[in-house]
Each structure stands twice: as structure tokens, then as C-alpha cells.
Chain A
């Protein structure tokens, strides 16, 4: 990148916050997806006005801008396919206000989800979206991806918990939308901004809805001897009118891997386990637990283990939360596929995925946010093996198609980014996509923000 430009960036953000050496750029050239692509410069602003200046400069110089949090996204959302400037917001990580009277938290974009949860827990509150990456994923990243998580079954996804945003638009201006109230009048700009994957604006502040912690929580681990029974039990629980806080599923390979890796006490011979958590007033839990246990038994559960205390509960969750990390023991690389099917099509989806992976000789384990029909087959492979990598890509394409054929979608919570751009046509007609493009045009007519994402063939007007 032009030295003069680097100097300008250093003047805006300070030398120590601008990186353009190739080794530094390499470190920012990937995220948690299979994609790679290096930016020309990475900057880590510390104030909103720095972001504003950066965007203004980028507009003047016609440089693509890629907003970035912790880059834990699994879709290539923070890759710079045409180079450009990465604006990483991780140094803007202050919790500005926790207001339990208004039931909102005001945060900078780079605050980690779990850091907010910890601060809230001290006050008897929580922020419902809890992606499994919460230890490191940022709240702006959560909003930009409209992230989900286990507790979204009962409480909804990120967009349901963001009431307002500040952002720097593609014109370099600072805007404030939404607010501290339950609703705001006019078109729902806050809603539109969630899930826009950094293609509309750089989020600089968020107003989040927080909720009082439930009085009591109860978690159980239910084992099944076959996968279909576990999947059917999921539908049966919901059909009985019970909406647990979480309803998570792990198959045998995941179980065995977490047991080996994390020494958790899961039944290694079970074909699948469900982690079911309910919450609410203390008095409501026992009868719900009984009912859920009975339903699971009717569907062939071989064992139902209820966490007796907080330590046991944490131990039950440790396996689920650490599952992705544990799977990396199997092979050097992995793809966490993300798709959703209507809940009652889960057994069919799982059978088809099995056939696909079997035929392509792919090793995989399955995690599900089962209550939402959100499937995460984890496909492990060795990136250096071109043939295996190609089979993985084929497998993912076929699984995406399966989800669509079963009435679901190509991504439930990980977003489109680069990885699923082409697959958008499985779901949407050119007209549907054109209607979405209009929104992009409203917010970013010059296509400067995170270009080359979401749309199958979005015209790239410029690159360095």
C-alpha cells in the first residue's frame, strides 16, 4: 500500500495501531472459515472519531473497508478478497453503561460477549444471545452476523436484543438509530442493520436489551441409543408445549472426542445426547423436568442425568461448549457447517447428511441447536490434501441443498460471507436478490463496505 496513505492512517490512529507488514497482514488474512485473503492494511482504532476519519479517507481513496471483530465468523465475513483496509474494533471494548432500570447495556463494538455476561451476572442480569464463541466474539460481530446460540431457542437471536446502534455510514457520517425504548418509530433501521455482515456500516456502539436472570435453572443430559430417537424426542418436547431454554444435540463422534479431549463425563457409547436446560421460577422446574424425562423415555432414552448443582451443570456444559475445539484433535482443519431445517425434518436431514458424508468419505460429527432445527455437522479434513478439501466443499454444497430441499435455509446463524454467496441462488431468485441489493445500494452506493460478500455476483467497482 502507498506509503503516504499508511502515514495518514498512522496520523489518525497512532503508529502502534496500524499494521502493513506482510507477516501482520497474514495474521489477519483468515477467519474461522475456509476462506483466505489478505488486506493491504489493518488498523485498530480506539475511538469513534478515528473510525470516522478512517472511513472518510477510505472513501476519498476508494479503498474497500472490512469491519472486523474477533474474526470468529465461520463464513469468510472478514476476509478481504480485493485487499483494502481492515478496521478491527477489538480495542474499543468498554462497557459504557449497564442500566438495570432501563434494562439496557450500552457497549462499544469490541466488547466480548462473555465479558458483558460476567458484568451483567453480578447485577442479576444476562444478555440472551450466547454464541458458543462468546468467550472471544465481539458484540458488534454478534449483531453484524445476527448471531444465535443455545439459549436462542427460548429467547430469540441477537436482533431481538439490540434496540439501538450508532454507526459510521459509507459517507463517513456518524448516525444513531433506535434507542433505549422497546420500539422506535419509522422503518426498522436497527433491525435491518443486524445481520448485514459489515456491508452497510461500521457499528460503533450498541444498545442491548438485558433481562433479569431466571430464578432457577436446571440442566439434564439425556442419552439415546440411536440418532432418530433423539431427534424425534426434540420435536415431541416442543409439541408438548414446553420451550426449554436450550435443546442441544451431540452425536457419538462429538461425544467421544470431548470425552477424550476434555475429560467430561459423557456416555461414550450413546449414539447421541441431548443437553436440555429449562429455567424459570424454582417451583416450575421439577414438574417440567419430570415431563421432559417422560417424553425422552417414551422416545427410547437410555439414561437421563440431571445436574444436581452448579458444578455439575457447568461440567455438563463444558462438553458442549468445548466441542468445536475438541474436534480439531481429529484432523488439522474443520468446517462447521451451518444450516437450518424445520424441526420435524431433523431425522431426515441427519440421515441424508450421513449418506452424503459416507459417499464422499468425509469424517464428521454433528452438533445441533436441535430445538431450532439448526444443524452443525462438523466436517474434519486436512487442508493440505487437495482431494479431501475438494470433497469437503462438495459435501457442504450437498448439505446446503438438502437443507433447502427440506424447507430450511443455507445458514441459520453463521451468515453468508464469502462461503455461501453462490448458494444464495438455491434460496433466492434474481428478483429476491435484487430487492436485497437495493438495501445495499441505500447504505453503501459505492460498494466500499465489505465488498464481495453475500451476493453471488456483486459487481466490484474498485479495488486497489
Chain B
């Protein structure tokens, strides 16, 4: 196998193939470094590599910034890390049309820098993801609190290009918001975790950069207070940019409940909006007006929450909005069984929450597996799902990280088999071991 691969890489004669262990060490997964790192800087080189892998049964793991490599199950063995960082060019920025097309090795921060200069933005703010690549973000369908105001990449990726497992280079979608020429292949690639192809280019829809932000930090002492406020805001069409909520749960008690709402507005309107919003929030809410730049520059508590160690367990659950507080109450009860605290972070207007727990809260991996089963049942009953994003390897072995109904998983397997029958794109991490 390695002989063939060596030959294959030799045939490619690319300047961007690295075989020395120093270079390979950062790409070690499950204690095994890859056989080679390839960082093509042209699409043609990437096509040649994938085409050769298809022929020689080489397995590649697509790598952007590496931010998401720990997400999901244990990766199956792979031979080559295919880094997208060399493919990082701006293809077209069209401020008049509110679109940008860039290669997927470009980072989110680089993209935002380009577009904010023209007073536009891509409403995408996954925590700690400034240095994440566009390809990685699309593959993981990453999102942050802006999902509540603007949706996820699923809602604003308009088109792109990709190299499939057999090396065929395809384009899909386009550069206009309305486009129904053929199947919406964007949807296939978003969230596919690099299992179907190497995304090389994406076109994103942009929005006018909010001129001003009004931040509301309501002082809520307990969950019922929060629930009341959420109920008031729920039925209103508000210019919501983001809502963040965090608290800790220890032995059934909630502490340090923090709420942070951000609304977008214009300089001309912010006084009016402020008065309008004041009527909806509790009297002792702390208000702040700031420009978008300052708002962005403030270190977010989401960034802190998502800075995880290999010993942390991070759970993500999404429930229908009406079920949010019922589920929090259920988890509150369940926390009595745990020795450590559970940290909560969430986007309440979308029904999305994350929990962070220490591995040490469980003596045995099996104990966590049992607790997870119990929580999943409750969340399924509520019409939601619960997946484990991060976990130490000993836990990953005993649980299903993803949460897909069997029939959906079966479709997913069929799709994978159709697009990547020989398994050129490394598997293991995604649902059902895909």
C-alpha cells in the first residue's frame, strides 16, 4: 500500500507534498500520523491527487484549520492529509450583488475582513472560528449565535465547486440567490463533514453590516424569569442578531445565569429602537449601544465555553422551541446523579444548547453512556436530538456520537456509497461510521 502511495505522490511531482515527521506530527489522530501531507495550491493538483487516490485506493482526510477534527466519532485510518489551506484565493467579490466567491482554504476572518471593508458581512460567527477555513465551516455546517437572526450556511451558501472521490471536478448552484437549475447540491455538501468530496470554492450571500448594535443584558435571577422574558420576545418580529445564554448547574442548582441579546439597527434609529426594546425587557436590564466593530471585538463568553480540553465532554442538543425549558428542567434533575457541574451555553431563540461536562464526572465510560441514553430519550420525546460533539477517546468507543434516526442514516449510507464507493474520503467520524 505505502509503496503504491509513494509512487502515486512521486507521479504527482507536486511541490507541496510533505513526508517528514515534523510536518506530519500536527495531523496525528488516534496516535497515528498520516503517511503524507499534501497541500495543493491549484485545483488541478488536488484533482490529480484525488484521481490517483481513487485509482490506488489511497484514503485522504480533508483538513482545513483542524478546528473540527475532534468532532464526531473516532476516525478510521487514512493515508494522506489533504490540506485545503493552499487553495485560499478570492475569486470574486461583488458588493453590488451582495456575494463573495472564494476558495475554501480562505479563513472566515480573511473573508470578513474583505467584506467588512465594503460595509457587508457574512452572518457567521462560530466560536473560536476566525481561523477556521470556509471549507471546514461548510463541511461541519458550523454556526454561532447569529443563527438566530440569519440562519446557518445552509441558508446563505449559493453555490460552489468540489472535487469528488473519483477526481471529477464539479460546480453547482450559482452566484444568485434565486437559482433552481437542477438539484440543490449545496445542501449535499453543507454538513457532510468532508465525506463526499473536497469543497474547493464557495459563493456566499452577504448582508449589509449592521450599523449599530443594541445590547441588552437582562438581570434574571432564575429560570422562570428567563422563561417569562423568552415568552415575551418569542412572538415578536424583532431585528435580532444574536441571543446568548449561559449558566452552570451543580447538584440541581443553577447559578451564574447570564443573558445577552444583540439587536441590529442604524445610527438614525437606535434611540427609537432602544425605547421600543426597553418596553419588552425587565426594568433593571443593562443596555449598551455600540458599533458592530466594537461588538465583535468584545471577547465572547461563547469563545470561553468552547475552548475545550481533550477531557471535556461537549453535548449539543436542539429541541423545538416550546420544549426548551422543559428539557432544561429535566437536565436539572438529571444533574443530581453527577458529581461535577454541567456548564450550559445556548442560543435560546433557536432552541439550541450545549453542555460541557468534565470526563471526571463519570467513573466509567459506561456510566456516561447510560446517562446519555436517558437524556437522549427525553430529548427525542420532546422532538429534538442530542449529539456529542467532543469526548475523550475512551468515551467515543462506547457511545454513538451522532443522533440520527435509522431510516435517515440508511439514506445517508446510500448517498455516501454513491458518491464515494471506494472510501477515498476518510470515514469513521460521521454518523454510522461514515
Contact = CB atoms under 8 A, between A and B. Distances in A.
Given A181-B351, A182-B147, A280-B239, A424 B181 contact: yes
B237 A176 contact: no
Contacts of A187: 188, 191-192, 196, 411-412, 415
A152 B177 CA distance: 9
B82 to A, nearest CB: 19
Interface in A221-271: 235, 238-239, 241-243
Size category of the binding interface on chain B: 35 or more
B404 A185 contact: yes
Given A181-B318, A183-B152, A239-B95, A146 B237 contact: no
Interface string B298-334: 0000000000000000000011111100000000000
Interface stretch (A16-24, A36-44, A82-90, A428-436): A428-436
A113 B272 CA distance: 35
A379 B323 CA distance: 51
Contact of A104 (B98, B320, B411, B418): B320
B97 A181 contact: no
B419 interface: yes
Interface residues of A, number: 87
Given A343-B97, A435-B172, A438-B418, A374 B178 contact: yes
B174 interface: yes
A432 B188 contact: no
A241 B181 contact: no
Contacts of A415: 180
A420 B181 CA distance: 9
B30 interface: no
Contacts of B412: 186-187, 189
A175 interface: yes
Nearest to A280: B239
B187 A188 contact: yes
Contacts of A152: 177-178
B336 interface: no
22 contacts: A101-B322, A146-B184, A177-B408, A182-B351, A186-B191, A187-B415, A191-B186, A192-B183, A195-B184, A284-B265, A287-B268, A342-B94, A342-B176, A344-B94, A369-B178, A408-B174, A416-B182, A427-B181, A435-B185, A436-B185, A440-B183, A442-B414
Interface of B: 94-99, 119, 141, 143, 147, 151-152, 154-155, 164, 168-172, 174-188, 190-192, 196, 207-209, 211, 234-239, 265-266, 268-269, 272-273, 276, 318-323, 350-352, 383-385, 387, 402-405, 407-409, 411-412, 414-415, 418-419, 431
Given A189-B411, A416-B182, 6 more contacts: A177-B408, A341-B176, A372-B178, A412-B180, A416-B181, A442-B415
Interface of A: 99-104, 124, 145-146, 148, 152, 156-157, 159-160, 175-177, 179-189, 191-192, 194-196, 211-215, 235, 238-239, 241-243, 279-281, 283-284, 287, 340-344, 369, 372-374, 407-416, 420, 424, 427-429, 431-436, 438-442, 454
